[in-house]
Structure 1
Amino acid sequence: MKKLSISLLLLIFVHIAHAQQAVIRGDFADPSVIKVGDTYYAAGTSSNWAPGFPVMKSKDLKNWTQTGSIFPDLTGWADYYYWAPELNYENGKVYVYYTAHKKGGNLCVGVASADTPEGPFKDHGPLVCQEVGSIDGFPIRDENNKLHLIWKEDGNSVGKATPIWIQEINEEKTALVGEKKELFRNDTPWEANLVEGVSVIKNNGYFYAIYAAAGCCGPGCTYATGIARSKSLMGPWEKFKGNPIMTGQGDWMCPGHGTAVTYQGKNYFLYHAYDKSSNKYTGRQALVRGFEFTPDNWIRFTDEYLSPSDSPKMFTATDDFNKEKLDLQWSWSVFNKPAIELKNGRIGLQIKDDRELFIARRIEGPNYEATVETIPAKSAMAGVALIGDEKNLIYAVAKQDSIGITLVKDGARSSLGKFPVATKGKNLFIKMTVKNNTEIGFQYSLNGTAFTALKISAPDITFLPPWDRAVRAGILAKGVEGEVAVIEKFVFKNQ
């Protein structure tokens, strides 16, 4: 019996050691990667969170740190849905082909450029805007070295097929020229209602299109990855009969939409997938998997995974707001940019109207807590929140004499309780604890160590995550326009 237990423990250890892990934990969908010098840079979808498109860097594709974002102040022509930034490095310059929603219009593919992957980026505006939407731009040169843009027509948004188009782009990379041509579309059962996220590479006389298909998002997702090939970039394209070539396995489900890259002479694919245990709550996370070219000139994914050298499930991230600029972990709604002031180790959020104002950070697992140390005011309220978007959130905020807990669903607010608290000029600590993705509770303290539970009926928060992203934990302010809510510290613990 003792020997069996030891053997079982060894098997569990081997499984854990070889289990695939996210290289960028938390919401980082549609990842794209380039190599500049000896450094890799990746960018991912930010959707309706700003700044637009976080940028990460790494030396080994395993361990990543954020350097900034492509659009700290978004763009002038687009308002929301900042999706699928495709990085491209050519002739010493960096380009990003990205999707965004045009003001008064639909989804378009735009382009921006910079001298380095860390920016600043100059936006050149949209390249293509079809009536039902254009998304997932990818640049590629043909066999004659002419530059082209590949993209998806977003027909599934209106119940139609989704053609993958190609069209030549000028060398300045600011406009399409000539006529577009269809490469392929969703026409096989496994692809269901769409094909998208095309990434093209060349090998042994073939162009290979690695693409995603079926349902992208949420617990009911059916996303998978397929391959097509052609001797000429303009086609005809042949889909692999064994598609899909990558589906969910192990702890991960619905893999797709990524970019091929080489590391130490081997081929890898940086893509996203959902963790089965936290799914829509943590969103689509970035993973790296190896692939190889087969003797009959197709592509096969291997069981070689790159994982971080140190990937702790338990960690603490603290912000005491003693820097000149807001820490890179923070983001906010594209519809409500906060006016902030960092001074004397505190952050002040100026309230603009009766809407909730917040800054938030990605979560990385199903169990975590966030604590906000506030400086209570007479009327301006500040505290901690779990946020899906500006119309779906839950929060606990305080002023000098009370704490209120509010649930917002589809923009409708419901009070879950109001609790009298005598702060007596002291700072107030408000803690939010989340277990198993959906079990949420709030506590408060006057000294930061002894906490008292704020007793509320267990709220249903399963509706919080938007269909295309995850929930975030953060700081929320509310009150009368012109008031300033002041926060001393924020502590996030992943458990």
Structure 2
Amino acid sequence: MRTKKLYYALVLAGCLGAAPLGATAQANVKARTKPRVQAAPARPATPTPLAIANPVLAGDYPDPSVTKVGDTYWATATSSNWGPTFPLLKSTDLQHWSLVGHVFPGERPAWADYYFWAPEINHDANGKTYVFYTAHKRGGNLAVGVASADRPEGPYRDHGPLVGQPDGSIDGFPIHDENGQPYLIWKEDSNSVKKPTPLWAQRLSADRTALVGEKTELFRNTAAWEGNLVEGPSVVRHDGYFYLFYAANGCCGPGCTYATGVARAKKLLGPWEKYDRNPILTKNDVWTCPGHGTPIERAGHWYLLHHAYQTGGSFQNVGRQGVLSEFVWTKSGWPEFLNNHTTPVAPAKVPAVVADEFAGATLAPAWEWPVEDKPAFALQNGQLRLTARPDKGGAALGRPTLAANYSATTTLLNPSALPPGTTAGLAALGDPNNALSVLAGAGKLQVQERRDGKTRTLAEAALPPAAALHLRVQDQGGSRYRFAYSPDGRTWTELLPASETADGQFLPPWDRGVRVGVVAQGPASATATFERFELRNE
């Protein structure tokens, strides 16, 4: 089993350029050397493009997918190494979404440990809702699993993995062929071992919980723009063709090169024809590295709900956000995105204030935790009580950041009464090994940097004698952090000199954005108590 560190390196390496076709793929991909000689079917007038204020899913929502159930659209997205697993969101117009829960709200599936990627939500003709998803198999490699529910909001029953090839299998997408038979399309994750990346299709059983028959290769990375991979397949049938939207090249981080292409075929198993004008969706003045999404139609308009980074600055700190891009069907039959290279509509405004009074009996669904280290916590009388842990930077609960400039605050109760060896406070969280924190304990206030699992103190002050201590973390530009405290919540004292900030460029993992939230480190018998959390976005 590869270590996580090796896997990061392999993914980021950009291993191969265009690869030669295998025998199956040679028979399955046609070169498009001249226009088809056929009459274009009559089409209604192109709808007037809608003004879409993106992101429609603000925050870290990679690999989003969408399906329609009745009059409601349901979406989900990659949760990676944050739990709970796979958010569930709903909307009536594709632009305004509410987070209502998770596919796996408590414990992750027993067969998997981490890398919960690329869930594809699908409401099938049999009346059930399915989520086909990727996860790392315990003691194995990446595999595609499936869960089902009688209602899109759940509860979901996990059915375990469907396919897990030696090099890994990811990005499952369900589709019916031209005869109405259910199939699963997925990517063989061979770029992780410096090999080409075929897209495969294989029949699904009637209950969608197993693959049957033989798999067929549809196509693989062959074009120069695709780099070392094709992935994230999603298919829609239109005017007698199957159209397969796919992402290619480097997905993540400051050096990303992601873009979106399309291929089409009369029959699901091919032969497939890649569009000679690929990529059809690329970086513009607002959104960088667009890709991995699902096509959906509403009121005569066609869209791709996909992810992208916001262009400029330390964009990777917020993460890959959910973006809705409109496209039209051209006279040649191929899709064409509107405003591909410019985005005249102003970006959507994120909420100015996001606050949690911890008033309910359960934690709000926006809170997350490291998926392998779910902390113990309880809500009572408007307080959050977080049980400490002695390792991995402590117990942590965080919320996704929504903008590059923000201020987060919370109130820590009775900091001077924390047990010996216990610290608690507020932190910007990359993962359990990377954080910037303001912590109280042992008579001190400290600003700490935890980088690659190693901790150092950046600033220190005496702990004021207060029954409640207000703590603040501020971020400017996505990676410049400042920390402050206040005994009364009105007069703040900065812990770093006025001319200094803590550098947070190291915080985001290669595939995730930064969270901000509360932490408690110390013996498992210790508990830290917090009141009110507030996130102010600029």
Same fold (TM over 0.5): yes
2:472 equivalent to 1:431: yes
Displacement of 1:423 in angstroms is 2.0
Q: 1:7 matched to which residue of 2?
A: none
CA distance in 2 between counterparts of 1:385 and 1:323 reads 23
Helix, strand or coil: the match of 1:150? strand
Greater share of residues in strand: 1
Which of 278, 287, 294 matches 2:330?
294
Shift of 1:350: 1.0
Q: Is the 8 A contact 2:111 2:160 kept in 1?
A: yes
Q: Which moved more, 1:379-388 or 1:210-219?
A: 379-388
Normalised by the length of structure 1, the TM-score is 0.93
Q: 1:308 to 1:252 in 2, by over 3 A?
A: closer
Residue aligning to 1:418: 460
1:202 aligns with 2:237: yes
Q: CA deviation at 1:459?
A: 2.8
Distance in 2 (CA, whole Å) between partners of 1:44 and 1:237 is: 27
* Match of residue 151 from structure 2: 116
Is 350-359 or 44-53 further displaced after alignment?
A: 350-359
User: What corresponds to 2:179 in structure 1?
Assistant: 144
Instruction: Flag structure 2 segments of 5+ consecutive residues without an equivalent.
Output: 1-49
CA distance in 2, matches of 1:55, 1:306: 28
* Alpha-carbon shift at residue 487 of structure 1 (Å): 0.6
**What one-letter code is carried by the residue in structure 1 that aligns with 2:294?**
T
Give the deviation of 1:226 after TM superposition.
Answer: 0.4
* Aligned 8 A contact 1:70 1:121 in 2: yes
Q: SS in structure 1 opposite 2:339?
A: strand
What does the per-residue CA deviation read over 1:201-227, in whole Å, with 9 as the maximum and x for residues that have no partner? 101111110000011011111100001
Equivalent pair of 1:23/1:306 in contact (CA under 8 Å): no
What residue number does 1:360 align with?
A: 398
Structure 2: distance between partners of 1:28 and 1:154: 21
Match of 2:448 among 406, 412, 417: 406
1:310 Cα deviation (Å)?
10
Distance 2:343 2:476 in 1: 28
CA distance in 1, matches of 2:360, 2:347: 27
Query: Which amino acid letter does the alignment assign opposite residue 321 of structure 2?
Result: Q
Tell me by how many angstroms 1:18 deviates: 6.0
Look up the match of 1:14: none
Once the two structures are TM-superposed, the CA of residue 19 in structure 1 deviates from its matched residue by: 7.8
Identical-pair percentage? 47
Change (3 A) 1:42 1:313: closer
- Relative to structure 1, the CA distance from residue 270 to residue 307 in structure 2 (aligned partners, 3 Å threshold; closer, same or farther) is farther
In structure 1, what is the equivalent of residue 6 of structure 2? none
| Distance in structure 1 (CA, Å) of the matches to 2:345 and 2:322 | 11
TM-score by length of 2: 0.86
2:67 counterpart residue number:
34
CA contact (8 A) 1:20 1:307 kept: no
Q: Matched residues in 1 for 2:53 and 2:122: separation?
A: 27
2: CA distance between counterparts of 1:476 and 1:30? 28
Alignment partner, residue 97 of structure 2: 64
**Conserved in 1, the CA contact under 8 Å of 2:52 and 2:324?**
no
Distance 1:419 1:437, change over 3 A: same
Q: 1:335 aligns with which of 362, 372, 395?
A: 372
Residue 244 of structure 1 is matched in structure 2 by 279
Which residue of structure 1 lines up, in the alignment, with residue 485 of structure 2? 444
CA RMSD in angstroms comes to: 1.9
1:80 paired with 2:114, answer yes
Determine helix, strand or coil for the equivalent of 2:192.
helix
8 Å Cα contact 2:84/2:104 also seen in 1:
yes
Displacement of 1:303:
3.2
Structure 2 residue matching 1:190: 3-state secondary structure = helix
For 1:203-242, list aligned pairs within 5 A: 203-242=238-277
- For residues 243 and 28 of structure 1, what CA distance do their matches in structure 2 show? 25
What secondary structure, in the 3-state scheme, does the structure 2 residue paired with 1:303 have? Answer: coil
Q: Distance in 1 between matches of 2:72 and 2:454?
A: 47
* Pair 1:492 & 2:535 matched: yes
Would you say the 8 A contact 1:82–1:101 is kept in 2?
yes
Residues of 2 paired with 1:228 and 1:310: CA distance? 30
Q: Which residue of 1 aligns with 2:408?
A: 370
Task: List aligned pairs for 1:121-136, cutoff 5 A.
Answer: 121-136=156-171
Query: What amino acid maps onto 1:329 in structure 2?
Result: A
Secondary structure of the corresponding residue to residue 502 of structure 2: coil
Give the corresponding residue for 2:4.
none
Aligned partner of 1:189 in structure 2 is: 224
Question: Counterpart in 2 of 1:157?
Answer: 192
Specify the alignment match of 1:43 in structure 2.
76
The amino acid that maps onto 2:495 is L
**Alignment-derived partner of residue 5 in structure 1:** none
